[in-house]
Structure 1
Amino acid sequence: MKEITTRLLVIGGGPGGYVAAIRAGQLGIPTVLAEGAHLGGTCLNIGCIPSKALIHAAHEFERARHQAQGSPLGIRVQEPSIDIAQTVRWKDGIVKRLSGGVAGLLRKAGVQVLKGWARIEDGKTVTVQAEGGESVRVRCEHLLLATGSEPVELPSMPFGGAIWSSTDALSPDVVPKRLVVVGAGYIGLELGMAYRKLGVEVTVVEAAQRVLPSYDEELTQPVLDALQKSGVVLHLGCSVQGYDAKHGVHVRNARADEFALPAERVLVAVGRRPRTAGFGLESLQLDMAGRYLAVDAHCRTSMRNVWAIGDVTGEPMLAHRAMAQGECVAEQIAGQSRRFEPMAIPAVCFTDPEVVVVGKTPGEARAAGLDCIDAAFPFSANGRAMTLEATGGFVRVVARRDNHLILGWQAVGQGVAELAAAFTQSIEMGARLEDVAGTIHAHPTLGEAVQEAALRALGHAVHI
């Protein structure tokens, strides 16, 4: 068996792993990255990027259908159709370009990439089963675990055939007539709303009593309104019991009544779990935090020189968190003093309307015993939102009452994902309400709602 020695071995080529490897290479650290599937991991190949591509295509198709029915803008088009095979090819083209870009960046940084599945022998030795059956034993000084996560299956509805995972839903061979989505979290609603825009009859089943149950209710109300307006059927407080091709999805409600929902396809989106099995991780006997790997503020596990980042270390399971952790680890191995202790990590739900949460919500601030003020500015009073036909939603700020230090931002509305950077930066830089209120914002933009929310919290909003 061929053997190689390196200072850093990264297992997993997703956002966390490839960023860690690139940064390590930039810092002159001999680095090997092992990836069994495709560079870019779940996010780039079967998650964040392709889902946003499908969401965009569905949005454009819905806009065309809307204009065909008579648009107030004066646009007139004939009834459109969609070639889903071409849509998938377009989406795959974006993924291919980005994955190739990651490979190029790794080469530029001097990182050696081994395409194959890794198996841990001990904290310093890993065997990589490369393509073609050849195995390579890698001996390393530092081992970084960036193995990510995988969708959760329901025992009564394993993936395959008519039962889709989120991966399957991103590359449909046909657009089904009826789709049942199990789970009203962000993945289920993002894809469910996209399929509804493609003309599919969509039904959502959720065990909780409301959609997006991890978000506060005021923030998710505009999303609920949009779901109902679009014709998505909701069965809240219900659980699925199974599926058969003749009757569809078997559902039980809170009263223990059972009924069936006809469906050509069923998208199961009930969460993700860390990928900790199948590659010898148990041999290291690392400390766990529930089902996740336990790490400290440096991303160190309980074994010296074994690090872990990203989804395998717990919530929030977000690509940008993994990326930041990857840089943090690489710089520590290079001898720099670093800790992973962000003031805030933005979370975006790409439903329509979009939802952004950064820092503490009003409820979380109260639960923490903080005396806070919060204020919201509606997009119905924003000129740019009117010109975009997107006046639903609002921007909300949360700040300490005594010194006006900003603790959190939330927003719901069309395009609010692009406000996440401003929200996060204000918290990281310790901004106060006066800082944001006194900053001149470009007019006309959606960003003016950020300034107006701060002004309203201070008691002197101008446009409401």
Structure 2
Amino acid sequence: MSHGFDYDLVIIGAGVGGHGAALHAVSCGLKTAIVEMAEMGGTCVNRGCIPSKALLAASGRVRELRNAHHLKALGIQVEQVSFEREAIADHANNLVSKIRGDMTNSLKRLSVDVIYGRGKLAGNQKVAIATPEGEKVVTAQDIILSPGSVPFVPPGIELDGKTVFTSDDGLKLDWLPSWVAIVGSGYIGLEFSDIYTALGSEITLIEALDQLMPGFDPDIAKLAQRVLITPRDIETKVGLLAKKVTPGSPVVIELADAKTKEVVEVLEVDACLVATGRIPATQDLGLESVGIEPDRRGFISVNDQMAVLSEGQPLPHLWAIGDSTGKMMLAHAASAQGVIAVENICGRSREVDYRSIPAAAFTHPEISFVGLTEPAAKELGKAEGFEVGTVRSYFKGNSKAIAEGETDGLAKVIYRQDTGEVLGAHILGFHASDLIQEAANAIAKRQSVHDLAFLVHTHPTLSEVLDEAYKRAIATH
């Protein structure tokens, strides 16, 4: 360090994105500090992906063991299955504590300075940190903003954290309501409906848009409704807005027509989970001190190198990553952005390839996707002058899926008709979250179905579902 700053790099926010950036920065020889006002690991580790996966794992086992028909087909009989709600909640808490501890220790081991307090910009290359001991100011050659996000609660919905709550409180599993309304049918809503129905609750799923799972590929959304919703204790309300939600016993929900905003129905339920997405935590970040303003939704504008933009131009030495950028609100996307930001700080020009970043919902069975949906691919094809091809292969024809008794599902591959380049892949089925990585890697390398169809897959494995799709793609030419 010959530049006279306290640090080469200061990162505000120690979520998965900030943590990943810090690890990469140290490996690149940068003297690094990370500022965190709450817990190490941010939303993902403490209130998101990690505890939710623990609850999904436990509740999924309960669902599996109570499925007498499925077990009987495998020659297994289980007399009675019971569970302890508190023990399941403890499993999630213990996992959070372990991973949070591992993250803290990894930073200490690499001599990253961890400063606990609220960090904000105090001008160019300066960070002011409000700590319990008072405010301190540190300087850095480069600064990465990684403040994360918080649950979005629409107007008219009142939270009490007990009967009306977001995923933050739902993950504590303080109690098991008999009847839960879930507002929103995205990842969070689907995963919680999976947890609650496995443990015996009834669900009413409320979606303001005119179809369930609006962000998913239409074929996947259609199959998910047949596999994950219809056979379970889930009632659906589509095209309806939760206009007013009042906590209590019971919780009172006024449902309005999403178009006219007129109340058409009143529900009384035991609890209501609000799963209407997330908004960036960019307030009080000192952005005005460097002359930048977030967009109307609160997101920080960045380019694909992760440099913060002011009036379309990159600001020197200031970067932003993760949910605050609004690009892809996923923990692994934040981590990838952190690595890219550090690479550019070190003078190695790199950009984030968002098309190759996969996503998953850890329902039973799982849903995963990478790249474009079929409608988005067709839109691109129209703009760029190419035809889009799609192929589907099914788990019911896969030997491993048959052996496991897990034959619900499909893999759908979307590609260019002219070059065969894979544009997207969507999977619903057993271990879909693991299977999608192969397609993500193919998209990252802009590979063609003509090459992928000749790769050899282990038999019998679930990976052959994608192999079959690639082979069907070249057979259609």
Please report the TM-score for the alignment, with normalisation by the length of structure 1.
Answer: 0.94
Distance 2:152 2:86 in 1: 27
SS in 1 for 2:75: coil
2:398 is aligned with 1:382: yes
Distance 2:158 2:130 in 1: 28
Gap change, CA 1:373 and 1:274, over 3 Å in 2: same
1:262 aligns to what?
268
> Residue deviations 1:261-287, cap 9 Å, x none?
222211001111111103323333325
CA contact (8 A) 2:12 2:120 kept: no
1:51 aligns to what?
52
Structure 1 residue 386 displacement after superposition: 1.3
2:140 is aligned with 1:136: no
1:455 aligns to what?
471
CA contact (8 A) 1:185 1:213 kept: yes
2:24 is aligned with 1:23: yes
* Structure 1, 49-58 or 382-391: larger mean CA deviation: 382-391
2:344 is aligned with 1:332: yes
Distance 2:154 2:355 in 1: 35
Q: Write the mapping of 1:215-230 to structure 2, written as runs, cut at 5 A.
A: 215-225=216-226, 226-230=228-232
Structure 1 residue 69 displacement after superposition: 9.7
1:348 aligns to what?
360
Structure 1 residue 434 displacement after superposition: 2.3
Gap change, CA 1:293 and 1:434, over 3 Å in 2: same
> Residue deviations 1:15-60, cap 9 Å, x none?
1111111111122211110001111110111101111111111111
SS in 1 for 2:426: strand
2:237 aligns to what?
235
1:40 aligns to what?
41
1:401 aligns to what?
417
1:150 aligns to what?
150
Distance 2:220 2:296 in 1: 29
The number of aligned residues is 457
Structure 1 residue 346 displacement after superposition: 0.9
Q: Look up the equivalent residue of 1:251 and give its one-letter code.
A: L
* Structure 1, 116-125 or 299-308: larger mean CA deviation: 116-125
Gap change, CA 1:119 and 1:288, over 3 Å in 2: closer
Distance 1:419 1:436 in 2: 15
Could you list the runs of 5+ residues in structure 1 that have no partner in the other structure? none
2:446 is aligned with 1:430: yes
Q: Write the mapping of 1:165-314 to structure 2, written as runs, cut at 5 A.
A: 165-225=166-226, 226-244=228-246, 245=248, 246=250, 248-253=252-257, 256=262, 258-286=264-292, 288-291=294-297, 292-302=299-309, 303-314=315-326
* Structure 1, 67-76 or 440-449: larger mean CA deviation: 67-76
SS in 2 for 1:301: strand
Gap change, CA 1:315 and 1:8, over 3 Å in 2: same
Gap change, CA 1:300 and 1:177, over 3 Å in 2: same
SS in 2 for 1:38: coil
* Structure 1, 210-219 or 8-17: larger mean CA deviation: 210-219
Distance 2:419 2:174 in 1: 56
SS in 2 for 1:317: coil
Distance 2:97 2:194 in 1: 25
2:375 is aligned with 1:359: no
Structure 1 residue 402 displacement after superposition: 1.7
2:312 aligns to what?
none
1:411 aligns to what?
427
Gap change, CA 1:216 and 1:343, over 3 Å in 2: closer
Q: Look up the equivalent residue of 1:359 and give its one-letter code.
A: G
> Residue deviations 1:387-445, cap 9 Å, x none?
22221221111222122222221111121110121011111123211222111111111
Gap change, CA 1:340 and 1:66, over 3 Å in 2: closer
Gap change, CA 1:85 and 1:384, over 3 Å in 2: same
Q: Look up the equivalent residue of 2:379 and give its one-letter code.
A: A
2:436 is aligned with 1:420: yes
SS in 1 for 2:415: strand
2:62 aligns to what?
61
Distance 1:337 1:247 in 2: 53
Distance 2:388 2:361 in 1: 25
Distance 1:238 1:439 in 2: 47
Distance 2:293 2:175 in 1: 45
2:457 is aligned with 1:441: yes
Structure 1 residue 365 displacement after superposition: 1.8
Structure 1 residue 212 displacement after superposition: 0.8
* Structure 1, 282-291 or 349-358: larger mean CA deviation: 282-291
CA contact (8 A) 2:182 2:274 kept: yes
Structure 1 residue 75 displacement after superposition: 2.1
SS in 1 for 2:209: coil
Gap change, CA 1:97 and 1:450, over 3 Å in 2: same
Percent of residue pairs bearing the same amino acid type: 31
Gap change, CA 1:134 and 1:415, over 3 Å in 2: same
* Structure 1, 405-414 or 12-21: larger mean CA deviation: 405-414
Structure 1 residue 68 displacement after superposition: 9.2
Distance 1:112 1:35 in 2: 11
Could you list the runs of 5+ residues in structure 2 that have no partner in the other structure? 310-314
